[in-house]
Amino acid sequence: NAGVTQTPKFRVLKTGQSMTLLCAQDMNHEYMYWYRQDPGMGLRLIHYSVGEGTTAKGEVPDGYNVSRLKKQNFLLGLESAAPSQTSVYFCASKGRYSNQPQHFGDGTRLSIL
Amino acid sequence: DAKTTQPNSMESNEEEPVHLPCNHSTISGTDYIHWYRQLPSQGPEYVIHGLTSNVNNRMASLAIAEDRKSSTLILHRATLRDAAVYYCILRDEDSNSGYALNFGKGTSLLVTP
């Protein structure tokens, strides 16, 4: 049981380039989330999804887009990367019941030069 | 969202109990108290959660004050593997918010042999 898998684990981009981060979960969870974590800080919510085909903005959505075309996958896109988006990105998923916890991936370390 | 206050860091000796405090004076009646921890270079992992009564699981215990304005995470016997950042989070049980977590900076726990 892999849980939450994030691809890639590391990436270096140049300013203005685009890329997509992939999150896959094999727990049949309804909810999925994208967070970012900057050095010395807690995680901040970028976007989330309450089910297949639905997405919503979190605390820091600017500069990012997301899609949830399949229940098991949640994609995070950077259309034109900026140095301020250098961060560690974490994906999480959660089951439908309120008392179920979030399960996190191991993160994607993204550097934008 | 209601916020929490935690010490920036704490230190404990191995095999001794650890009490991690959290203040949440503006907690509302529908907020659950959640604790997650983040080991170095990993994503956060769920520890425990509760509403009013004290809770125990295989990882830790959660003691909640009678007025719910504070809580304490108790690790009964700290090991070196418990060295992590511990986050105390209030989560609104409104499903329309996607059960998202609002991470602060947490408490960095150092465990010494």
User: Hey, what are B71's tokens?
Assistant: 């809580």
pLDDT for A1 equals 60
CA distance A99 to B37: 17
Q: What is the DSSP string of A18-83?
A: -EEEEEEESS--SEEEEEEE-TT--EEEEEEEEETTEEEE-SS-TT-EEE-SSTTEEEEEESS--G
CA distance A24 to A95: 14
Select from A31, A42, A94 the Cβ nearest to the Cβ of B103.
A42
In chain A, residues with a C-beta closer than 8 Å to the C-beta of B98 are 31, 33, 48-50, 56
In chain A, residues with a C-beta closer than 8 Å to the C-beta of B34 are 101
pLDDT for B93 equals 74
User: Hey, what are A78's tokens?
Assistant: 């950077």
Q: Is A55 left (phi over 0), alpha (psi -120 to 50) or beta?
A: beta
Q: Give me the residues of chain B with pLDDT under 70, please.
A: 1-2, 95
User: Hey, what are A69's tokens?
Assistant: 């075309």
Q: Do A35 and B102 touch (CB under 8 A)?
A: no
pLDDT for B97 equals 75
Q: If chain A, 113 residues long, is cut into consecutive pieces of 10 residues, what is the mean pLDDT of each piece?
A: 91 96 97 94 94 94 97 97 97 92 96 97
In chain B, residues with a C-beta closer than 8 Å to the C-beta of A44 are 103
Is the Cβ–Cβ distance between B12 and B109 less than 8 Å? yes
Residue B16 sits at the chain A interface (C-beta within 8 Å): no
Please confirm whether the linkage preceding A61 is cis (ω < 30° from 0): no
pLDDT for A92 equals 97
Residue A40 sits at the chain B interface (C-beta within 8 Å): yes
Select from B43, B49, B101 the Cβ nearest to the Cβ of A105.
B43
pLDDT for B89 equals 95
